[in-house]
Amino acid sequence: MFKGSRFVAALASLGLVLTGAACSSDSTTDDGPSESRSIEHKLGTTRVPVDPERIVTIGYSDQDTLLAFGDKPVGVVDWYGDYPDATWPWAQDALGDAHPEVFNRGQFTGEANIDFEGIAALAPDLIMAQYIDVSQDAYDRLTEIAPTVTTSPDYPDFGMPWQENVRLVGETLGETEKATDLIDGVDSALREQRAAHPEFEGKTAAVVEAGDPGTFWVRSPNDGRSRLLTSLGFVIPQQIIDLAGDSDAFEISTEQLGMLDLDVLVWNTGSSEGASDQIKVIPTYQTLNVAKDGRDVFVDDPIVSGAMTWGTVLSLPYAIDALVPPLSAAASK
């Protein structure tokens, strides 16, 4: 997923396909009948308890979606940011006084660092694994611990739109109506901003992050950062679409910066101190019209950058409020 850009990180189509078919039924255990529902996902079909009480999330940003439903996980994975309980400011009210076990503090290697023993020690009755690539082997090990639901089969890893994430979690929890309400709330805010800013409509744009010296990561239209722009009316150029394929980002060199001479360019720099200054003095970049005209937006605030990077139902309202004004200023030039 994140390749070298993970350290610099996290909505075009609103008519999305429902991914998981959920239905309630009864199953029998050694202790007698217990209710469960069947959830379809990328790695199979899982029967989950109707009222799970001990949920562990292992995706990088999965805790946000669960918290949006009012469910507090007993275990979460730390992505980055070094916040208490691996919970960023936009989600702290939803977490309240809960203190989940935090796995992988300061580590970003995904499946390789799944703490199977630590998860098992929490005795979960449900494991959610959406914003992470999970192999069949890892999935099999997780299901030995508790029923596990992965991502939608309809999208590449890390490419499931936030709306579909909410729907899938809603189905898993038996909260489909609440899922619809949560989606409608954020989508309404996006529609309002799009209507209020006709200067966004049809303008070409991209989200870029600095990688190793002399390299940059261009975000795919499948990535949530790009989807935020397209949901506001911006357009990702076809060249970027073609180069990205199913990946969430692709790498370019300084010599290839010309492909970023767009109507608006968003630099997601908030996770790398001094990144903006280093980019602005690159001679190749200074020759671009988007730079000369001031149509570039540098997202230097770590929390705003994080809200865009996470791209969850909880973080997006924060990102929208912070990013629309500078995007409007850039698109109006």
Query: What's the confidence (pLDDT) of residue 111?
Result: 63
Provide the H-helix boundaries in 38-135. Answer: 62-68, 89-95, 116-121
CB neighbours (10 Å) of residue 214?
11
Give CA–CA dist 324/172, Å, rounded.
33
The amino acid at 197: H
Domains of the chain, start order = 23-188 (3.40.50.1980), 193-331 (3.40.50.1980)
pTM of the predicted structure, to 2 decimals: 0.87
Own/partner pairs, 38-45, CB within 8 angstroms, 24+ separation: 39/149, 39/168, 39/171, 39/172, 40/153, 41/149, 41/150, 41/151, 41/152, 41/153, 41/168, 42/150, 42/151, 42/152, 42/153, 43/134, 43/136, 43/139, 43/150, 44/139
Q: What is the H or E stretch that residue 276 is in?
A: helix 275-280
Give CA–CA dist 30/18, Å, rounded.
34
Query: What's the confidence (pLDDT) of residue 121?
Result: 98
Structure tokens at 157: 């890893």
Query: What's the confidence (pLDDT) of residue 256?
Result: 96
CA torsion, ordered 246, 250, 256, 260, to nearest 10 deg: 70
- Cα angle 58-305-208, degrees, rounded to a multiple of 5: 100
Query: What's the confidence (pLDDT) of residue 113?
Result: 77
CB proximity list for 111: less than 8 A, separation 6 or greater? 132, 133, 134, 135, 138
CB neighbours (10 Å) of residue 264?
24
Taking Cα atoms as reference points, which of 119, 64, 59 lies closest to residue 95?
64
| Burial of 322 (C-beta count, 10 Å sphere; 0-12/13-18/19+) | middle
pLDDT tens for 249-268 read 999 999 999 999 999 999 99
- Cα angle 253-255-258, degrees, rounded to a multiple of 5: 105
Query: What's the confidence (pLDDT) of residue 272?
Result: 75
First to last CA, the chain: 34
Give CA–CA dist 276/326, Å, rounded.
15
Report mean pLDDT in 10-residue bins for the chain, 333 residues.
37 32 37 72 95 96 97 95 94 97 75 86 97 94 97 92 97 97 98 98 97 94 96 97 94 96 96 86 96 97 96 98 98 97
CA torsion, ordered 67, 68, 71, 74, to nearest 10 deg: -10
Give, as one character, the DSSP assignment of residue 1. Answer: -
The rounded Cα 262 to chain-centroid distance in angstroms is 24
Between β-strands 205-210 and 215-219, what pairing exists: parallel, antiparallel or unpaired? antiparallel
DSSP 32-54: EEEEEEEEEETTEEEEEESS--S
